[in-house]
A and B are shown apart, each in its own frame.
Chain A
Amino acid sequence: MNAPARDMRGSAAGPVLSARDLHTWFELRQWGFLRVGSVRAVDGVNFDLQAGESVAFVGESGCGKSSLARTLLGLHQPTRGEVVFEGRPLGMLNSAERKAYLARVGFVQQDPYGALPPFMDVRRILHEPLIVHGVRNRAEREQRAQEALEEVRLSPAADFLSKFPHMLSGGQQQRVVIARALILRPKLIIADEPVSMLDASVRVEILQLLRSIQREHGLTLAFITHDLSTVRHFAERIFVMYAGRIVEQAEVNELLNHPQHPYTQALLAAISDPDPDNARHQREVPPGEPPSLLKPPDGCRFHPRCNRMIAGTCDRQDPPDFEPRTGHMTACWLYR
């Protein structure tokens, strides 16, 4: 059983991955038993990812990006709704199918420094997933480990195989994490802030690397970030998240040039390009901070900070998705 992944190949036509009314809530308890409430980390998320596309989920710290990623990977059980991979809901997979699913989805997790076990050398780090997924032949594993390292431009691969994580720079460690995500030849890669811990100059390099691998193999790439200034170079579509929800989605240039949701507009207005005139004036920033996910505000979750809030509507009713421009969706009452 060298390639259990093949068992699960679904129809090529439909989306690769979908979220349907996805909710992931974490129960919060005090002293281990007293139920305080639920953290609604993912709170009603819907999307379809097509084969071979690269998308970015963008949002501020704590808006639920990692929780969403982990739910998509099947690491959190959704509280409500479902994740559908190639037409099949994850909840309906038996344990063998689940394992096969994980072999087809590569995960690059947030924080490369914690991602690699310090006591394993790169060889073991790369052999491990192959062993778990039934590649018994050592020579084959070694071959694939070398290929994966070359794919992430760590060459000569032989030099890196015997290194331990602490002997590698942050950028090199992150390449190893990516190599590990690629080694089972996944169809989909979920990368959770793959570069936020790295130096700016290395960031671009790693993002380009991911993008070129994605193109070369026709993978679907979902990457999570809080950095809007780089997305245009690495994603075709953007989903903007706020407080557990997707508030806007569009093709990347459309979204950057014509942001519709007041939150997206505020985010874009807050980003600086390196211009000496920036120092001359104050930037416009919405007041306050993102809401608690324990008790999110009624109506639109952005309404307490929004300067265009429609009293009586925005503070009472949840905005559904509107389509103010073709293919450009936003959950905001302004576009009703």
Chain B
Amino acid sequence: MAGEPLLRVEDLRLHYRSGSGVVRALDGVSLDVRRNEALVVLGESGCGKSTLAKALMRLLPRNVQHFSGRVLVDGVETMGYPEERFRREVRWVRLSMVMQAAMNALNPVIRVGEQVAEPLRVHRGWSARRARARTAEVFGMVGISADFLQRYPFELSGGMRQRAVLAMALVTEPDLVIMDEPTSALDVLTQASIMNALKRIKQELGTSFILITHDVSTSSEIAERVALMYAGQLVEFSDARDFFRDPAHPYSKLLMASVPRLHQEETPVHIPGQPPNLLDPPGGCRFAERCPSRFDRCDRDPETFRIGERRTVRCWLHAQESGT
């Protein structure tokens, strides 16, 4: 095993307070990302993907009820850092993020180039000129011509705006970029072209990525490892090859069977039922209600079992294999 991963997360939890109780949106997630690796986080709407991203960046809303766990960057625990130190040493420095729907959140009255250069001006104190030169360079990497620096967001297509927010996340040369649904609202050709740019950037700059999405097919364009979430928890964490070819968790299997494929005659099969309410998630396995393989043990919360070197599965069916 080669050294410490770039990012290691242990038992991360983030719960929200709401009118009707506590929403356990992120409920004990552990994962790691190596240098120059692309991790894909998959899961249905509402399973806690964006909550995971916010927890990693520590961009928390006001109504947080509980936040705990360990977040190690290069082996150094950062959960204990006060906000000031986290901001100075981690957020936008080591880790950066493209928020869900960020392309619609660009400031309409500020030129795109200035907005993208802002992290350099604010966090690094760079001169306008130096920041502009760097911004032009990053625009090139994400596939926007430098002429667009002077334009306003409304003058850009959706695809161009998405590239601009990606440039904003890359401009400070972070080690890891978290992208929350970066291509979900875009057309296939634009999606493919942005995924191409990500692959190139990963190869050329050695950046690591966490790509958060519910789009299994597009995620395979970059995935080296896959973490599948269900109802606030990780149910499977595998190499992409294993996950896509031979998914292990019953939910992973159903998810893969539900994906429409261009060159497949069989109709994709939808997963019956709905995910549980995170206000009061059921005891035992959270997937049990929809699981075709459910057995008596599933009434207890499954452990996360390790299968071989590179895979963990949170399901009682795998207790044997892992030798527990």
Let me know if A289 is at the binding interface, CB within 8 A: yes
Give the one of B196, B214, B262 with max A CB within 10 A. B262
B222 partner residues in chain A, CB cutoff 8 A: 279
| Stretch touching chain A among B17-25, B105-113, B238-246 | B238-246
Chain B: minimal CB distance from A305 (Å): 9
A272 and B244 contact, CB distance less than 8 A:
no
**A282 interface residue, CB < 8 Å from B?**
yes
Beta-carbon contact of B214 and A276 below 8 Å: no
Task: Mark each residue of chain B from 255 to 292: 1 if its CB lies under 8 Å from any CB of chain A, else 0.
Answer: 11011111111011111001000000000000000000
For the complex, what is the distance from the CA of A270 to the CA of B188, rounded to whole Å? 6
Q: Does B298 contact A (CB under 8 A)?
A: no
Q: Does B216 contact A (CB under 8 A)?
A: yes
Q: Which residue of A lies closest to B263 (CB)?
A: A273
Bound together, the chains give a CA A188 to CA B179 distance in angstroms of 41
What residues of chain A lie closer than 8 Å to B244, measured between beta carbons?
274-276
Chain A residues contacting B269 (CB-CB under 8 Å) are: 204
Tell me the bound Cα distance from A238 to B260 in angstroms: 17
Contact indicator A229/B158 (Cβ below 8 Å): no
Q: Which residue of B lies closest to A271 (CB)?
A: B262
Which chain A residue shows the least CB distance to B258?
A201
Instruction: Closest B residue to A205 by CB, please name it.
Output: B270
- Measured in the bound complex, the distance between the Cα atoms of B255 and A270 in whole Å is 22
A266 to B223, CA, bound (A): 23
> Quick check: A226 and B220 within 8 Å, CB to CB?
no
Interface residue A154 (Cβ < 8 Å from any Cβ of B): no
Is A213's beta carbon under 8 Å from chain B?
A: no
A residues 135-179 touching B (CB-CB < 8 Å): 169-170
Chain A proximity of B266: nearest CB distance (Å) = 9
B33 to chain A: closest CB distance in Å?
A: 15
Asked if B217 and A274 make an inter-chain contact with CB atoms under 8 angstroms apart, the answer reads yes
Q: Mark A226-259, 1 if CB is under 8 A from B, else 0.
A: 1111101100000000000000000000001000
| A257-290 at interface with B (beta carbon < 8 Å) | 266-268, 270-276, 278-279, 282-283, 285-286, 289
* Chain A residues near B114 (CB-CB < 8 A): none
Give the docked Cα–Cα distance between A271 and B218 (Å): 8
Interface flag for A202 (CB, 8 Å): yes
Is B189 a contact partner of A279 (Cβ separation < 8 A)?
A: no
- Partner of B271 from the list A61, A201, A233 (CB cut-off 8 Å) is A201
Tell me whether B104 is interfacial, beta carbon within 8 Å: no
A199 within 8 A of B: yes
A279 touches B44 (CB 8 A): no
Q: Does B191 reach chain A (CB closer than 8 Å)?
A: yes
Residues in B with CB closer than 8 Å to A205 are 270
Q: Decide yes or no: A274 and B214 within 8 Å by CB, A201-B258, A233-B267, A268-B262 being known contacts.
A: no
Q: How far is the CB of B293 from chain A (nearest CB, A)?
A: 18
Q: Which residues of A contact B223 (CB under 8 A)?
A: 276, 279
Number of A-B contacts (CB under 8 A): 119
Looking at the assembled complex, report how far the CB atom of B39 sits from the nearest CB atom of chain A, in whole angstroms.
Answer: 12
> Closest CB-CB distance, B8 to chain A, in whole Å?
23
- Give A262 to B262 CA distance when docked, in angstroms: 18
Contact A282 B264 (CB under 8 A): no
CA distance A266 to B271 in the complex (A): 31
Is A97 interfacial (CB 8 A cutoff)? no
Instruction: Assess whether B35 is interfacial by the CB under 8 Å rule.
Output: no
Quick check: A279 and B38 within 8 Å, CB to CB?
Answer: yes
Minimum C-beta distance from B264 to chain A (A) = 7
Q: Does B311 have its Cβ within 8 Å of any Cβ on chain A?
A: no
B200 within 8 A of A: yes
Asked whether A266 lies within 8 Å of B267 as measured between CB atoms, the reply is: no
By the criterion CB–CB under 8 Å, are A272 and B220 in contact?
yes
A1 at the interface (CB under 8 A from B): no
**In the complex, what residues of A have CB within 8 A of residue B218's CB?**
272
User: Are the C-beta atoms of B221 and A272 separated by less than 8 Å?
Assistant: yes
- Across the interface, A61 reaches (CB within 8 A) one of B158, B264, B274, namely B158
Chain A, range 175-221, C-beta contacts under 8 Å to B: 199-205, 208
Give the residue name and chain of the B residue nearest to A58 (CB): B188
A200 and B188: CB pair below 8 A? no
Output the least CB separation between A225 and chain B (Å).
Answer: 11
Q: Interface digits, A305-333 against B, CB 8 Å rule (1 contact, 0 not)?
A: 00000000000000000000000000000
B262 in complex: contacting residue of A170, A203, A256, CB < 8 Å: A256
Residues of chain B lying within 8 A (CB to CB) of residue A276: 220, 223, 240-241, 243-245
Known: A61-B158, A273-B217. A204 touches B262 (CB 8 A): no
Question: Interface centre among B160, B195, B223, B264, by most A CB within 10 Å?
Answer: B195
Given contacts A61-B187, A202-B270, 5 further A-B contacts (CB under 8 A): A230-B268, A232-B262, A271-B217, A273-B259, A273-B263
12 A–B contacts, CB within 8 A, in A order: A201-B44, A201-B271, A229-B217, A233-B267, A266-B189, A272-B218, A273-B220, A273-B259, A274-B261, A276-B223, A289-B157, A289-B159
